Amino acid sequence: MKRSALAASALSVVVLTGLTGLTACGGGDSETDADDKPGAKATASKAKEVSPAERLAKLMVTKAESGYTVKEPSDGDALAASQEDMDVDKAVCTPLAYAMNELPIGSPQATLTHVATSSAAMFTYITLSTYEDGEAESAMKDLAKAADSCGSGYTATSDRGTTRYDSVTVETAPSGSDESLATAATFKFKGFTQKLRTQTFRFGDTIVNYFALDSGAFIQSRPGEAKIPADLVKAQNAKLS
């Protein structure tokens, strides 16, 4: 399901090999000397480094861990493909618009989004983002400010369409993280009110945002109320704790 259409008119692991010790006669001392050189230590250090994107790929929850089918979302699922592609009429509301469109909040080092589904017609988008020191806290602060300031709604626009959010309310998020925030937002589709939900958690320098929508409501042209599965959140958050 392409949410943009509905709402608008409805990481490779680089393996570095270590230095190979010399095996000539009496090479035992040569191998030790090589290992003591700064260059050898730097190479060994690089071999152990994991990039932010690789780290996120390992942190994304799997079906075996959650019971949900977890995969990359289809192209065009979101209203905008990137932060740069989205305009928001109220600047303060921008972090909310990102959180409700599978986009990272703030300025992460790396980000990864997958969509989790089960037998129910409910889509839950999981966006993992990792940040430089202090940037995750800043992103959460801006999101909280948006939630407090945008109760009367806002409008998000991209070249894929426009979504007018009529209201935003702050809800109670589960505990267990360094920071958390939950919101619900409503908008109209074919005359019916659709309620979307987000839950956002910070674990150190990593943020996970869950965004849920009731896909069945769009397809059946009826009121919808999205719910974020507690067991999915528990499984994913456990990998970040």
The residues, ordered by sequence, that sit 6+ positions from 189 with a Cβ below 8 Å of its Cβ are: 6, 7, 10, 217, 218, 221
Q: Considering only CA atoms, which of 179, 85, 97 is closest in space to residue 136?
A: 179
CATH dotted code for 3-13+51-240? 3.40.1000.70
According to DSSP, residue 84 is labeled G
Q: Which pLDDT score, from 0 to 100, does residue 121 have?
A: 74
The residues, ordered by sequence, that sit 6+ positions from 45 with a Cβ below 8 Å of its Cβ are: none
Residue 98: C-alpha distances to residues 36, 121, 123, 143, 174 (Å):
49, 23, 17, 10, 21
What are the residue ranges spanned by the domains of the chain?
3-13+51-240
Written as tens digits, the pLDDT of the chain (241 aa) is 444 433 433 323 222 223 233 333 344 444 445 455 555 555 445 557 899 999 999 999 999 999 999 999 988 778 999 999 999 999 999 999 999 999 999 999 999 999 999 876 789 999 999 999 999 999 999 999 999 999 999 999 999 999 999 999 999 999 999 999 999 999 999 999 999 999 999 999 999 999 999 988 988 999 999 999 999 999 999 999 9
Q: Which pLDDT score, from 0 to 100, does residue 41 have?
A: 55
